[in-house]
Amino acid sequence: HYWSVWHENKSFDNYRSVKPRFCSEFGFQSYTSMPVIKTYADEKDMNISSPVIELHQKNAGGNERIAGTMFRYFRFPKDFESFVYISQVQQALAIKTAVEYWRSLKPHCMGTLYWQLNDTWPVASWSSLDYGGSWKALHYAARRFFQPVTVSAIPSEEGSTVRFAMVNDMAEEVDIDMNIFALSTDGTRTPLKSASGTCGPDAATDMTEIDLSQLAEGTLLSWNFIASNGMTGEGHHVPETYKALELQPSGLEQHVKALSDGQFEIEISARGLALFVMIEADIPGRYSDNLFDLAAGETRRIVFSARDKDFPLHPTFKIFDLFSSQSQG
């Protein structure tokens, strides 16, 4: 069990200071999602220090720890719902940092189980599922960082380089091709390097490395990959912190089309860089994907499946991203 990041308020990088054989308990809190919060809090209660919000936090110092970590990595959220959104983004980042590093140590580390899966009541907690079963940001991220075949970006201890580790949980070897880019804050991608590698069955091995001095100041690293078994993935790495980025307006637009059986297609496009795009509906349901990035000119189609397929009204969708959720003043 490793709880120093949450209980001792250490940085996410601290997960890389330990090399467990099997880590069966570690976690980081976030707020429950806004549709759930609205079931127990009125508009006047939408403040992290309000008595109602504090009542729905049962870990001593939990809200302060969420806020303190947020100010370490992000700029101040512009409002309460943005605070809730960024709390879920940072929870996903914390667990992703741990899992990706520990998986890259295979066969030294052969397992990770984060705390926790679900909630027994609507509360700020370590869970990746909201009370009622809807997915928080962490659960969408977990589907990617626990994918049987993936590529993880692991920064060096001094932060000057990033190594890309292939991880394969399958019983057969896989070939992986990846492309690495410099990603500017206006959403432009510039190719840096292409790499290929073979990862044996039930193994992890390094594919390539990038010297971060190649990046201009304020630029991110991004990549995508495809494996010979059809699995794909993408990601980004920020050399410093998100609050150090001079993000520009992402220009997100959405177009919604009703499908059948309570399903809706949401087409989201970006004119600039949109980090951690998160869709939120005003009715319960599940998304085909969530918590993803868009570069300038990119479009993503997401299918939302309403829990109640006979719901008579057209849902309203709100789109969050990092730029639009941070205070710009």
Work out the percent of the chain whose per-residue pLDDT is above 90.
92
Quote the pLDDT of residue 158.
87
Quote the pLDDT of residue 278.
98
Quote the pLDDT of residue 231.
97
Q: Residue 276: enclosing H or E segment and its boundaries?
A: strand 274-281
CA distances in angstroms from 73 to 4, 68, 87, 89, 181, listed in the order given: 17, 9, 11, 11, 23
Query: Per-residue pLDDT tens for 193-232?
Result: 999 999 999 999 999 999 999 899 999 999 999 999 999 9
Mean pLDDT of 97-119: 97
Q: What's the mean pLDDT when you consider all of the chain?
A: 95
Query: Per-residue pLDDT tens for 30-85?
Result: 999 999 999 999 999 999 999 999 999 999 999 999 999 999 999 999 999 999 99
* 87 Cβ neighbours under 8 A, 6+ residues apart: 29, 30, 31, 66, 70, 124
Where residue 329 falls among pLDDT bands split at 50, 70, 90? low
* Dihedral-angle region of residue 78 (phi above 0 means left; psi in -120 to 50 means alpha; beta otherwise): alpha
Quote the pLDDT of residue 311.
66
Query: Per-residue pLDDT tens for 258-313?
Result: 998 889 999 999 999 999 999 999 988 999 999 999 999 999 999 999 988 776 67
Q: Please give the full DSSP string across 138-157, using - where no structure is assigned.
A: HHHHHHHHT-SEEEEEEE-T
Q: How far apart are the first and last CA of the chain?
A: 41
Distance separating alpha carbons of residues 26 and 98, to the nearest angstrom: 9
List the Cα angle 188/12/125 in 5-degree steps. Answer: 105
Cβ-in-10-Å burial (0-12, 13-18, 19+) of 158 comes to exposed
Where residue 153 falls among pLDDT bands split at 50, 70, 90? very high
What would the two tokens of residue 152 be? Answer: 């993880």
